[in-house]
Structure 1
Amino acid sequence: MDSHKILQTAVVFLLATVIAVPLTKRFRLGAVLGYLLAGIVIGPQLLGLISDTEGVATVSEFGVVLMLFVIGLELSPQRLWVMRRSVFGTGLAQVLATTIAIAAASYYLFGLSGKAAVIVGGSLALSSTAFGLQILAERKEAGSAYGRQVFSILLFQDLAAIPLIAAVPLLASSTAQDFNLIAVLRTVGMIIAVVVGGRYLLRPIFRFVARADSAEVFTATALLVVTGVALLMELTGASATLGAFLAGMVLADSEYRHELESNIEPFKGLLLGLFFISVGMSMDVSLLLHQPLLILELVVALLLLKGLLLWPLGRLLAGLNRSDTLRLLVLLACGGEFAFVVLRQAAEQQLIAVSQRDALVLAITLSMALTPLLVVLAARGLHLRPKKPTREFDAIDAAPPRVIIAGFGRVGQIIARLLRAQGIPFVALEHSAEQVDLSRRFGSIDLFFGDPARPELLRAAHADKAEVFVLATDDPEANLRTARLVRRQYPHLKIIARARNRQHVFRLMDMGVEEPVRETFHSSLKMTRKTLEALGLSPELAADRVERFRRYDEALLKRQALVYDDETKLIQSNRDALIDLQQLFEADAERSAERERERDPTTAQAGDGD
């Protein structure tokens, strides 16, 4: 392809994207639908602006590889173990039940072979991660009870997609007679090599590259790791996506996780968009005209069957109420983007006919297009409305600050006053218009009305040039959304986060915020010290007891962060902690401990500060 053809193709893709995606997002239909519509319009069936659909599909599948790598980065083995009940409980039940039901219908009602029925059932059991997480974020419900269950189920579906993708060529080529044990052992050996080699080789490599202090080299190294591991897995006959996922998981608990994620994200977004465009280009839209009843039946059957299976899972396994179960149902009843990959491979391996693939792809796309509408209808039926700002956000015209303060309530104001007294430049962002107007009456400060969780607002506030990001908002869910965004887009920022309680602390620590500050902890310790003094303890002994409790509780908090999703272990940890603390104070009461405190008065002084 000559340079003129390459530039022409690039212009067509970018023009279609910048027109279609903003339109669909404006109507709350999501970016994925915009990419699909762009592909349909520029594809051979309508305008015919792009003819090389196979070439585009080959390049675009790298977007799926990068998506699996980013998913792997989100899933450290430790985190996966903590979430095992919701992920491997509700998630596993949903995938198994839906796969079996759809596979049985495909086999008995539509006459597919056993292997084809399994692949079709597995692919249709998957829901759209892109749609689900985007809608949860837009409606600010990711931290709700049903939002956490949606995330867990989507997480397991992403995990299940990997062996499903890998199984397509195996099912197409192998039978009981020609089962290739050597190929299986070679694949298992390569998986072990990736996991072990990644743990002992990748971290030293990234540590060496990080010393160069070059973002471009670091990004190139990340892309090299993804493509290299994917290529190795493909050479052994396994799935490239499996290799990318394993590479991500190996690096999930490394210190470079967030920087890797922020560097890969732009490439993943663009290539994933290209993948959806290529799917739209290959869609047989004429089926809507020639076989409208068949397509309509497939869409309705998919939504109803998955919905009927999700209802008891939400009510019984997840323990959700009726309204939350309904909201979970409408988000997960549609098909998903991984089904496009699986069905395309199944058609290439001749497990299913091309006409069957086209009908299923079209039905999945329509089910995804209906999802935002169903979410809106469900919300109206439950009398729910997404929160909207009462006025336009302020334009930020301040100089680049050293500190950004998110939230200008009681906590944010004290921090701002001290920073101002020290002459340290800062920008404060507050989501409450009333709070902004009230604060501006008492002086001229760099305070602006806006949502700190909006990427464009952080860019306007020069977050890329700041050093510290202070999360002082009093809304835990808004706090978590902002922390997630800042950690992903500005990994260089040191985050000082306010936390309401221990559960809030645990979730912030999951995002890499090292030491969240509990909003009532230190004031409670000071009140306790004064209470002990009022009861007759000496100021030194009272301060010592409080300081010992503080150190013990902070150590306990870090231990509990590893098991906070396991209620049984968390309860047992609290019981053990109470016994340990009692024994610690009993040891403090011994004369040897009293003499030691008298010789070392620094412990008493440590409890004086907040």
Structure 2
Amino acid sequence: MEHSNASFLPSLLLFLGAAVVAVPIFKRIGFGAILGYLIAGLAIGPSGFALFTDTVTIQHIGEIGIVLLLFVIGLELQLSRLLAMRKDIFGLGGLQLVVCALVIGGIAHALGLSMMGAAITGIALALSATAIALQVLGERGELQAPYGQRSFAVLLFQDMSVVPILALIPLFAVEAAHAANDGGGWTRTGIMIGSIAVVVLAGRYLLNPLFRILATTDAREVMTAAALLLVLGTALLMQWAGMSMALGAFLAGVLLAESNFRHELEADIEPFRGLLLGLFFMSVGMDINGALVLQHWLALVISALGLILVKSVSVAAVFRLTGSTKLDAIRSGILLSPAGEFAFVLIPLGLSYGFLQGEQAGFVKALAAFTMLFGPLIAAGSERLLTRFAPAELTREEDYSDAHGKALVIGFGRFGQVVSQVLRTADIETTIIDKDVEMIDVAARFGAKVYFGDGGRLDVLRAAGAGEARVICVAIDDRATAVKIVEMIKAEFPLTEVYARAYDRQHVLALLSAGVDFHMRETYESALAFGRSTLEALGVDNIEAEEIIEDVRDRDARRIVAQQQGGIYAGMDLINSKRLMKPEPLERPDTVGVTLNKEAIDAAEEAKEEEETG
């Protein structure tokens, strides 16, 4: 056992070291993490320094990253989101994939590939690099721009289409055709349908109660273990039934897309997904034939540039045809031109079924990697050219007057419920998270949708959409956690406004130090309203009661400022000072007033003495 552990650790350290060195370097020079993983794998693989040669085992482990990626994609596909973007997702996305696959596949067939080999190559290269495109959009801050939204819709359709593509390729294989003729086809079909039915029923009736029970234990590691068990178990079931593991993971994600635990599951899966997906790309890099690249490097460079040109023109034409401006169409075409990560899944699958020969598959994989290398460079260069030659169109201001802002509410207690009701009444798209399972159940009975999630975790905030929210409302009653959340949000999402519920004055000062944009003590405004009603009940007229309340509010605000400078005991003189009412006439009288009797004179003198003594 000790020998086994000792032999495993060097390999683990090798992979971690290669990733730690290569990925930051490639991200720093603008090529992105994916290319960093590919080059790291190529360097330590058989075509590089040959530090690791068992590429098959690593690729099998790395495929779990693809499985987890499909699960996360499924989690994002809520029915409401699909319906809102259905025209761009299914119309624009479907048209883009068909046009690009036909053009690229036709060229591949003309160059000598078989019909099925050309079809698989066309589809694999028609898919775009989701990670690269989203990274570029994020760096430009244009994910919410019209072309950014439409490009995202295309990427979403491509991610969805991978699942049926992976399921359909085996049906065209010669082995599958023979198997279908031996009388066992109906049995296998029944097993497939039955497996899908089991997953659907379990997701519909068992998963939410199971995660609700686990959430009450307050053991995060158990929730993480359950999430991995769900994804990998479903993937294994689909593989046993004769389908792809990715299909099972995707199906599990879709079933949980409307679950209260969606954001928590996504946050738990994300670290494993990132690491294993990186391992998958490293295994792909290890599998790249270095000798082939050296032998055909000029052909690969020319082919990669040609593919980027053909794909950019095809995508731009589709975008322009469906209503985008010329500029947006060009930008989307360039953005979506690099081949995607799923090319490294589809090409080996085509090779395993005999649709592609070994050298053909190796060339296409290397070609996909080269487009990933050139894509970000061409996107950056083209943006500079567009900025220079189309400045007026690039700097135009969009009209967002009809757009609704997005809000994230953390905490669904008494305070958070009222805030959420206000936002929903205004028809503002709002995400609500809370880690109290009982509160989530109560909310469901009243028709409110609350997601399970710990707002004190950065990964949960990211999964819940904190990066896209315009305002985040911290409505929890835990003072220390509220301050921590505000600090975290201001550090990670500095452009997002943070509104927070405060417990008392000390909590207000802590929130202000953390950078909160707006705070409200949970009982302060209600106490002022209560005091005003009390004044009116005692005979104070409405106008004077409002003036008194405003005076109290103003002195309280000045005291907060003083306490920020001098500590909690500063501004004590502002607490109990009375509001001196000195009514004055609107105009100075022309005549001097005359007293009418001795009692009036005595009363005036007494009032004057009291005012002087204070």
Q: Residue 294 of structure 2 corresponds to which residue in structure 1?
A: 289
CA distance in 2, matches of 1:84, 1:183: 33
Contact between 1:127 and 1:334, CA under 8 Å: does it hold in 2?
A: yes
Q: Does 1:193 align with 2:193?
A: no
How many percent of aligned residue pairs carry the same amino acid? Answer: 40
Amino acid at match of 2:101: T
Per the TM alignment, residue 99 of structure 1 is displaced from its structure 2 partner at its CA by 1.5
Amino acid at match of 2:40: A
CA distance in 2, matches of 1:279, 1:88: 30
Amino acid at match of 1:289: L
Contact between 1:100 and 1:121, CA under 8 Å: does it hold in 2?
A: yes
Q: Residue 62 of structure 2 corresponds to which residue in structure 1?
A: 60
Q: Residue 232 of structure 1 corresponds to which residue in structure 2?
A: 237
Amino acid at match of 2:132: F
CA distance in 1, matches of 2:479, 2:89: 35
What is the aligned residue count? 414
User: Secondary structure of 1:39's partner?
Assistant: helix
Q: What's the RMSD between the two structures over aligned residues?
A: 3.2
Q: 1:186 to 1:453 in 2, by over 3 A?
A: closer
CA distance in 2, matches of 1:468, 1:23: 32
CA distance in 1, matches of 2:17, 2:496: 31
Contact between 1:75 and 1:249, CA under 8 Å: does it hold in 2?
A: yes
Amino acid at match of 2:482: A
Q: Residue 121 of structure 1 corresponds to which residue in structure 2?
A: 122
CA distance in 2, matches of 1:366, 1:285: 13
CA distance in 2, matches of 1:177, 1:241: 23
Q: Does 1:268 align with 2:273?
A: yes
Contact between 1:219 and 1:260, CA under 8 Å: does it hold in 2?
A: yes
The aligned runs of 1:207-606 (5 Å cut-off) are 207-317=212-322, 319-383=323-387, 465-466=481-482
Contact between 1:60 and 1:271, CA under 8 Å: does it hold in 2?
A: yes
Per the TM alignment, residue 102 of structure 1 is displaced from its structure 2 partner at its CA by 2.1
Q: Residue 49 of structure 1 corresponds to which residue in structure 2?
A: 51
CA distance in 1, matches of 2:142, 2:230: 34
CA distance in 2, matches of 1:53, 1:275: 10
Gaps of 5+ in 1: 388-401, 404-451, 487-492, 497-538, 540-610
Q: 1:204 to 1:14 in 2, by over 3 A?
A: same
CA distance in 2, matches of 1:495, 1:98: 52
CA distance in 1, matches of 2:496, 2:284: 33
CA distance in 1, matches of 2:121, 2:196: 26
Amino acid at match of 1:270: L
Amino acid at match of 1:265: E
Per the TM alignment, residue 282 of structure 1 is displaced from its structure 2 partner at its CA by 0.5
Per the TM alignment, residue 260 of structure 1 is displaced from its structure 2 partner at its CA by 0.6
Structure with the greater alpha carbon radius of gyration: 2
Per the TM alignment, residue 186 of structure 1 is displaced from its structure 2 partner at its CA by 2.8
Q: Residue 77 of structure 1 corresponds to which residue in structure 2?
A: 79
Contact between 2:48 and 2:290, CA under 8 Å: does it hold in 1?
A: no
Per the TM alignment, residue 275 of structure 1 is displaced from its structure 2 partner at its CA by 0.3
Q: Residue 136 of structure 1 corresponds to which residue in structure 2?
A: 137
Contact between 1:470 and 1:495, CA under 8 Å: does it hold in 2?
A: no
Amino acid at match of 2:359: S
CA distance in 1, matches of 2:480, 2:69: 25
Contact between 2:234 and 2:249, CA under 8 Å: does it hold in 1?
A: yes
Per the TM alignment, residue 467 of structure 1 is displaced from its structure 2 partner at its CA by 6.5
Q: 1:464 to 1:154 in 2, by over 3 A?
A: farther
Q: 1:494 to 1:345 in 2, by over 3 A?
A: farther
CA distance in 1, matches of 2:278, 2:123: 23
Q: Residue 23 of structure 2 corresponds to which residue in structure 1?
A: 21
Q: 1:26 to 1:467 in 2, by over 3 A?
A: same
Per the TM alignment, residue 341 of structure 1 is displaced from its structure 2 partner at its CA by 0.6
Q: Residue 405 of structure 2 corresponds to which residue in structure 1?
A: none
Contact between 1:287 and 1:295, CA under 8 Å: does it hold in 2?
A: no
Contact between 1:24 and 1:34, CA under 8 Å: does it hold in 2?
A: yes
Per the TM alignment, residue 158 of structure 1 is displaced from its structure 2 partner at its CA by 0.4
Per the TM alignment, residue 278 of structure 1 is displaced from its structure 2 partner at its CA by 0.4
Q: Residue 89 of structure 1 corresponds to which residue in structure 2?
A: 91
Amino acid at match of 2:70: L
Amino acid at match of 1:337: E
CA distance in 1, matches of 2:224, 2:167: 28
CA displacement 1:425-446 (0-9 Å, x = unmatched): xxxxxxxxxxxxxxxxxxxxxx
CA displacement 1:137-166 (0-9 Å, x = unmatched): 122111111110111000000011111122
User: Secondary structure of 2:180's partner?
Assistant: coil
Deviating beyond 3 angstroms after TM superposition, the runs of 4 or more aligned structure 1 residues are: 175-179, 384-387, 462-471, 493-496
Gaps of 5+ in 2: 396-409, 412-465, 473-477, 503-541, 543-614
Per the TM alignment, residue 220 of structure 1 is displaced from its structure 2 partner at its CA by 0.3
Amino acid at match of 1:333: S
Contact between 2:44 and 2:51, CA under 8 Å: does it hold in 1?
A: yes
User: Secondary structure of 1:28's partner?
Assistant: coil
User: Secondary structure of 2:50's partner?
Assistant: coil
Contact between 2:314 and 2:333, CA under 8 Å: does it hold in 1?
A: no
Contact between 1:132 and 1:331, CA under 8 Å: does it hold in 2?
A: yes
Per the TM alignment, residue 47 of structure 1 is displaced from its structure 2 partner at its CA by 0.8
Contact between 1:469 and 1:494, CA under 8 Å: does it hold in 2?
A: no
Mean Cα deviation higher: 147-156 or 165-174: 165-174
CA displacement 1:17-36 (0-9 Å, x = unmatched): 11111101111111101101
CA displacement 1:321-372 (0-9 Å, x = unmatched): 2222221111111111001011112112222111111100111001011111
Contact between 1:73 and 1:251, CA under 8 Å: does it hold in 2?
A: yes
User: Secondary structure of 2:482's partner?
Assistant: coil
User: Secondary structure of 1:352's partner?
Assistant: coil
Contact between 1:63 and 1:271, CA under 8 Å: does it hold in 2?
A: yes
Q: 1:18 to 1:200 in 2, by over 3 A?
A: same
Amino acid at match of 2:354: Q
Contact between 1:469 and 1:495, CA under 8 Å: does it hold in 2?
A: no
Contact between 1:326 and 1:378, CA under 8 Å: does it hold in 2?
A: no
Per the TM alignment, residue 464 of structure 1 is displaced from its structure 2 partner at its CA by 10
Contact between 2:128 and 2:338, CA under 8 Å: does it hold in 1?
A: yes
Q: Residue 604 of structure 1 corresponds to which residue in structure 2?
A: none
Q: 1:341 to 1:482 in 2, by over 3 A?
A: farther
TM-score (norm 2): 0.63
User: Secondary structure of 1:274's partner?
Assistant: helix
Q: 1:494 to 1:7 in 2, by over 3 A?
A: farther
TM-score (norm 1): 0.63
Per the TM alignment, residue 181 of structure 1 is displaced from its structure 2 partner at its CA by 3.9
User: Secondary structure of 2:158's partner?
Assistant: helix
CA distance in 2, matches of 1:190, 1:105: 39
User: Secondary structure of 2:206's partner?
Assistant: helix
Q: 1:57 to 1:254 in 2, by over 3 A?
A: same
